[in-house]
């Protein structure tokens, strides 16, 4: 009896101890033995290693291939690659950062990751960038990845944002004169654009294109908000002043908001913009239920590849600029690149930097930047005959505006815009009130973030 | 000496409950105290700064937070009331019928409970999407223009309905089980006295299943206070924060805005509200039993 009691007590004690052991710190597990385990994360970019037409091409193909190559040279390194949805990025990173387990490398558009540099979560990459890279990549791209005095992202490619339009739908509505060349980024004036929207609404044959609308409009969340930011500049608003404060609350800003609201209320866009996401709009365009939508080179190339692979119906898809009152196109670009997180483990940080350098400089791998627009002149030269649009994007580059203003707190700032647009589209607020609210709340976010920025307070 | 003896006598009991107590302390009590502590700090990646009750002040000055409290209370009142009334109605109508029939009804209502809330929300999202959803499409065909997810008048009723429809099966199962357990003599006596079905329900069944009612109310209040998935997947808190709830507000601050101090303060407020709502009901239940 006594023996059995002792056995039961012993088992209970073991259970208690194992419960505690289960909670013990496992921070250093990844570096047990000689293997250095690195976690690489990315949001969906291009499919395939170099080309979306490769068999089995997927969003992680490039980094998996790069990891294999790198591991072959560094036997003690084990790299895992994970693709995370763009709209889940901040949630995932914040959880990992607060839990002390950030990924080692993150490949993403710089605009979406700048806050992590301000928060002190990234390590500078100055020491892995050599003169050859500096000479091959134009200064403008280095500027966009430099925060304070340091470079935090290794620029890889960039993705200029434009419109894409369904030329077949234009023809069906009798808008042939507004269709650009196949390899042109067509620029329309505001008057022409409004005429296009009106004609599409009135003359697009519903027999061929049932339930279709002229233009995509969305404000469910912050995804794809850069196009909405571009619309707000249509009438000449500069958006940020020199101190990085929002200055949308003037006549040009209000006029732009009124324009957005008018095209929506006039039925030129898909219905329910307040509860439609950019993903929905993209799907509607691909399903030929929208004639004009947003795009960037990666989205555009992926759609073309899907058409070739028979995954979506073929139609004549072309590019156009976002128009403005001045007549100059409104264009912006997302510079993409890899950043290294401060994992507090020197060995991992050094190896992560090595990996980023490998991905960003290896002659074979950098060719993948052709899926967007290469930041390297050498790669652009190599592929310019293969991709005539490179010249069109280069022509556009003179009109590029910096949509983030390099302000701290940009991630949170993005959460402020769409609720105001929702209020405007649902007529709870006038365009003027929506713009005023956005400016007030946005500037509050920027000022709070300035106080916490390690770069501002250096 | 006596205390020592008592301790020695009970030591094995303490050791037996130790695993549960340790898990309870580590995974429930510690997070509560840590949440309270964090709510008094301004936290960024590099440092923590004590700011007293400033996070709470900031919260109550934010109209979106106030709206989130109101929305949460609306959800609690309507979803709990609908769930209890509907479950009571269905259970009292069928509990004494043929066993196979009861099983079919029970199964039909319980299927949505077994399906993940994520899946249910996505299905409703497909149905209600204003651009390509089935319901708005049919509405347009009938020349009606309504966006159930984008209209501030419709968005709360839609969320209430979706949550209620998904969760009501649980309450029905509990009520049927409880009603089947009511002593048959009471029904026989009522039959002898010539009591109508309505009288039987109100005078016998409902008083007899009161503990179940209290349990369902408490559990549903706690569950609805934490309503999140359906908001995240169906409306994203919109339009213009019209469907934001406290849990969604907490989530946004913790994971999107990285305002851990503010998020912890919301957590503490939710904890206090839950506690205040639960204690009187628990006391009533314990007193009766």
A33-159+334-399 under CATH 3.40.50.1820, yes or no: no
Cross-chain Cβ contact A94/B19 below 8 Å: no
Chain A contacts of B46, Cβ < 8 Å?
A: 119-120, 454
**Token digits for B274?**
């839950």
The reply to whether B47 touches chain A by the CB within 8 Å rule is no
pLDDT in tens, chain A (458 residues): 445 555 555 555 555 555 444 444 444 444 445 799 999 999 998 889 988 788 888 999 999 999 999 999 999 999 999 999 987 888 899 889 888 899 999 999 998 898 899 888 999 999 999 999 999 998 878 888 888 889 999 999 998 999 999 999 999 999 999 999 998 999 999 999 999 999 999 999 989 998 899 999 999 988 889 999 999 999 999 999 988 899 999 999 999 999 999 999 999 999 999 989 999 999 999 999 999 999 998 899 889 988 998 988 999 999 999 999 999 999 899 899 999 999 999 999 999 999 999 999 999 999 999 888 899 988 988 888 888 888 888 888 778 888 887 788 888 899 899 999 999 999 999 999 999 999 999 999 999 888 888 887 77
Residue A380 Cα to chain centre, angstroms: 21
Contact B255 A454 (CB under 8 A): no
Chain A nearest C-alpha distance from B76 (Å): 24
Q: Which residues of A touch B258 (CB under 8 A)?
A: 90, 94, 97-98, 119, 412
Q: Are A290 and A212 in contact (CB under 8 A)?
A: yes
Whole-number Cα distances in Å, A290 to A177, A210, A268, B1: 19, 10, 10, 85
Q: How far apart are CA A131 and CA A111, in angstroms?
A: 25
Cross-chain CB nearest to A274 (options B150, B252, B256): B150
Closest CA of chain B from A7, distance in Å:
11
**pLDDT < 70: residue spans in chain B:** 1-2, 285, 287-289
Scan residues 163-222 of B and list those with Cβ closer than 8 Å to A.
Answer: none
β-partners of residue A165 are A292, A318
The domain made up of B63-288 has a fold known as MetI-like fold (1.10.3720)
Write out chain B residues lying below 8 Å of A423, CB-based.
239-240
Nearest chain A residue to B152 by CA: give it.
A426
Task: Enumerate the H helices of A241-383 as residue ranges.
Answer: 251-265, 278-286, 297-308, 346-361, 377-383
- The partner residue sitting opposite A275, judged by closest CB among B23, B235, B241, is B235
Cβ–Cβ of B132/A283 closer than 8 Å? yes
Chain A contacts of B260, Cβ < 8 Å?
98
Smallest Cβ distance to A220: which of B22, B236, B254?
Answer: B236
Residue B225 CA to residue B207 CA, distance in Å, equals 27
Question: Does residue B15 sit at the A interface (CB-CB below 8 Å)?
Answer: yes
Q: Which two tokens stand for residue A429?
A: 């607020």
Q: CA–CA separation, B182 vs B176, rounded Å?
A: 10
Neighbours of A403 (CB within 10 A): 21
> Are A160 and A297 a contacting pair, CB within 8 Å?
yes
3-state helix, strand and coil shares in percent for chain B, rounded to the nearest 5: 75, 0, 20
The residue of chain A nearest to residue B239, with distances taken between CA atoms, is: A422
The minimal CB distance from A19 to the residues B19, B129, B258 is found for B19
Domain residues of chain A, as ranges?
A: 33-159+334-399, 161-331+406-445
**What topology is assigned to A161-331+406-445 in CATH?**
D-Maltodextrin-Binding Protein; domain 2 (3.40.190)
Distance to chain B for A55, nearest Cα, Å: 31
* Strand boundaries in A367-432, DSSP class E: 373-374
CB-based contact A15 B19, cutoff 8 Å: yes
**Pick from A272, A293, A273: nearest CA to A282:** A293
Q: Do B18 and A12 touch (CB under 8 A)?
A: yes
Please tell me the distance in Å from B241's CA to the nearest CA on chain A: 7
Of B149, B158, B259, the closest CA to residue A415 belongs to B259
How far off is chain B from A364, nearest CA to CA, in Å? 37
Equal fold, A33-159+334-399 vs A161-331+406-445: yes
Half-sphere exposure of B259 (CA within 13 A, CB side): 22
Q: Please tell me the distance in Å from B228's CA to the nearest CA on chain A.
A: 15
Check CB contact of B276 with chain A, cutoff 8 Å.
no
Q: Is B29 on the interface with A (CB under 8 A)?
A: no
- Do B131 and A272 lie within an 8 Å CB cutoff? yes
- Give the pLDDT of residue A23: 46
How far is the alpha carbon of A446 from chain B, nearest alpha carbon, in Å? 12
- In the block, tokens 């690149």 appear at A337
Interface of B with A in 143-162 (CB under 8 A): 145, 147, 149-152
pTM of the model: 0.80
Instruction: Determine, for residues A276 and B131 on separate chains, whether the beta-carbon distance falls below 8 Å.
Output: yes
Give the span between the Cα atoms of B36 and B270, in whole angstroms: 12
Does B240 sit within 8 Å of A429, measured CB to CB?
yes
pLDDT reported for residue A297: 87
Cβ-defined contact of A276 to B137 (cutoff 8 Å): no
The domain locations on chain B are 63-288
Mutation pick from B8, B17, B45, B249 vs chain A, by most beta carbons of A within 10 Å, is B45
What pLDDT, on a 0 to 100 scale, did the predictor assign at position A268?
Answer: 96
Which residues in chain A are contacts of B244 at CB distance < 8 A?
none
Q: Which of A288, A443, A261, A301 is nearest to A386 (CA)?
A: A301
Q: What is the pLDDT of residue A213?
A: 95
The pLDDT of residue A28 is 44
User: Is there a contact between B241 and A419 if contact means CB atoms under 8 Å apart?
Assistant: yes
Phi, psi of A4, deg, nearest 5: -65, -40
Q: Which residue of B has its CA nearest to A409?
A: B257
């Amino acid at each position: 009896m006594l023996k059995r009691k002792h056995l039961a007590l012993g088992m209970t004690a073991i259970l208690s101890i194992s419960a505690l052991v289960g909670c013990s710190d496992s921070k250093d597990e990844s570096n047990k033995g000689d293997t250095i385990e690195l976690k690489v994360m990315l949001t969906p970019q291009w499919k395939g290693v170099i080309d979306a037409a490769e068999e089995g091409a997927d969003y992680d193909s490039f980094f998996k291939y790069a990891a294999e190559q790198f591991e072959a040279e560094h036997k003690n390194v084990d790299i895992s690659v994970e693709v995370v949805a763009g709209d889940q990025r901040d949630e995932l990173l914040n959880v990992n950062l607060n839990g002390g387990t950030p990924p080692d490398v993150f490949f993403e558009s710089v605009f979406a990751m700048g806050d992590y540099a301000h928060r002190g979560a990234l390590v500078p990459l100055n020491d892995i960038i050599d003169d050859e890279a500096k000479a091959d990549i134009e200064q403008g791209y280095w500027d966009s990845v430099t925060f304070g005095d340091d470079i935090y992202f290794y620029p890889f490619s960039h993705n200029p944002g434009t419109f894409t339009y369904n030329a077949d739908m234009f023809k069906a509505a009798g808008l042939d004169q507004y269709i650009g060349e196949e390899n042109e980024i067509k620029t329309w004036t505001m008057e022409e654009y409004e005429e296009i929207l009106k004609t599409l609404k009135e003359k697009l044959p519903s027999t061929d294109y049932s339930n279709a609308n002229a233009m995509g409009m969305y404000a469910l969340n912050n995804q794809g908000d850069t196009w909405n930011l571009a619309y707000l500049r249509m009438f000449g608003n500069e958006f940020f002043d020199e101190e990085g404060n929002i200055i949308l609350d003037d006549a040009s800003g209000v006029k732009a908001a009124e324009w957005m609201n008018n095209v929506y209320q006039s039925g030129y866009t898909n219905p329910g913009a307040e509860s439609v996401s950019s993903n929905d709009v993209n799907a509607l365009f691909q399903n030929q239920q929208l004639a004009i939508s947003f795009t960037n080179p990666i989205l555009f190339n992926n759609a073309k590849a899907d058409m070739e692979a028979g995954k979506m119906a073929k139609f004549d898809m072309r590019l156009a600029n976002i128009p403005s009152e001045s007549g100059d196109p409104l264009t912006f670009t997302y510079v993409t690149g890899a950043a290294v997180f401060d994992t507090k483990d020197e060995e991992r940080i050094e190896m992560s930097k090595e990996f980023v350098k490998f991905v960003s400089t290896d002659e074979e791998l950098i060719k993948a930047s052709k899926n967007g627009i290469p930041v390297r002149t050498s790669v652009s030269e190599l592929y310019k005959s293969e991709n005539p649009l490179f010249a069109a994007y280069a022509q556009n580059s003179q009109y590029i505006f910096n949509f983030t203003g390099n302000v701290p707190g940009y991630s949170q700032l993005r959460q402020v815009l769409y609720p105001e647009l929702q209020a405007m589209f649902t007529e709870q607020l006038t365009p003027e009130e929506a713009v005023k609210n956005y400016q007030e709340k946005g500037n509050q976010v920027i000022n709070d973030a300035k106080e916490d920025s390690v770069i501002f307070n250096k | 000496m006596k205390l020592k003896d008592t301790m020695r006598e009970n030591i094995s009991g303490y050791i037996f409950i130790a695993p549960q107590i340790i898990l309870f302390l580590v995974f429930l009590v510690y997070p509560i105290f840590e949440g309270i502590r964090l709510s008094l700090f301004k936290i960024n990646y590099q440092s923590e700064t004590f700011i007293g009750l400033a996070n709470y002040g900031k919260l109550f000055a934010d109209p979106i937070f106030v709206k989130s409290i109101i929305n949460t209370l609306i959800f609690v009142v309507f979803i709990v009331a609908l769930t209890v009334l509907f479950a009571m109605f269905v259970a009292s109508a069928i509990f004494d019928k043929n066993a196979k029939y009861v099983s079919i009804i029970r199964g039909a209502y319980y299927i949505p409970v077994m399906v993940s809330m994520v899946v249910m929300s996505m299905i409703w999202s497909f149905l209600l999407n204003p651009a390509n959803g089935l319901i708005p499409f049919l509405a347009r065909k009938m020349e009606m223009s309504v966006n159930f997810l984008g209209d501030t008048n419709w968005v709360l009723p839609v969320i209430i309905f979706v949550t209620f429809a998904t969760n009501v099966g649980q309450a029905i199962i509990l009520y049927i089980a409880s009603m089947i357990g009511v002593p048959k003599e009471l029904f026989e006596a009522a039959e002898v006295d010539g009591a109508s079905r309505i009288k039987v329900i109100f005078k016998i069944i409902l008083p007899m299943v009161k503990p179940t009612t209290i349990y369902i109310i408490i559990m549903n209040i706690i569950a609805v206070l934490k309503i999140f998935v359906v908001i995240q997947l169906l409306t994203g808190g919109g339009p213009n924060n019209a469907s934001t709830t406290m849990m969604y507000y907490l989530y946004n601050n913790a994971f999107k805005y990285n305002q851990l101090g503010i998020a912890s303060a919301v957590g503490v407020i939710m904890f206090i509200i839950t506690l205040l709502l639960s204690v009187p009901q628990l006391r009533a239940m314990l007193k009766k039993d």
